[in-house]
Amino acid sequence: MGHEKQSSGKIIINGVDVASLDTHGRVRLGLGYIPQEGGVFPDLTVEENLRAATNGTLGKPSQISKLLKIFPQLADKVKLRARYLSGGEQRMLSIAIPLASNLSIVVMDERQAG
């Protein structure tokens, strides 16, 4: 993600060596990150979290519906603030967020946590 200086090798995303790019540059190329814990905005609803992931461009309800088919446990909770989701549901939402962003590569820290 660019938080640590690369000591060797190359990281190529969509044909671009990202060694000299900051985190924002890497994200623009399609790199996403799912932290071990958290990764959601607790005061936003499930739907607002998904919209925030795409800067509000997740305009079509069908796009949200597709994500909720992947994570059906979240379907009846779209208007619920993320802080009130269970740990597992928050984890599902933290995974859905980069899927909403249509990223090419997602780095997932401790994928089995939660």
In a domain, 45, yes or no: yes
Q: Which of 33, 38, 41, 45 lies closest to 3 in space, CA to CA? A: 33
Number of domains in the chain: 1
pLDDT of residue 70: 92
pLDDT of residue 19: 84
Rounded to a whole number, what is the largest CA-CA distance in the chain? 46
In a domain, 2, yes or no: no
Residue 101 corresponds to which tokens in the numbers above? Answer: 């962003």
Length of the chain: 114
- Record the pTM: 0.77
Instruction: Check whether 78 has a pLDDT greater than 90.
Output: yes
Q: Given the DSSP bridges, would you call strands 16-17 and 105-108 parallel, antiparallel or unpaired?
A: unpaired
pLDDT of residue 60: 58
Where are the alpha helices (H) located in the chain, listed in sequence order?
23-28, 46-53, 61-70, 87-100
Instruction: Check whether 93 has a pLDDT greater than 60.
Output: yes
pLDDT of residue 79: 96
In a domain, 26, yes or no: yes
In a domain, 69, yes or no: yes
In the block, tokens 């549901």 appear at 89
In a domain, 4, yes or no: no
By residue range, what is the domain housing residue 71?
A: 12-108
What pLDDT, in 10s, does the model give residues 18-57?
888 888 888 888 888 887 777 899 999 999 888 887 765 5
In a domain, 3, yes or no: no
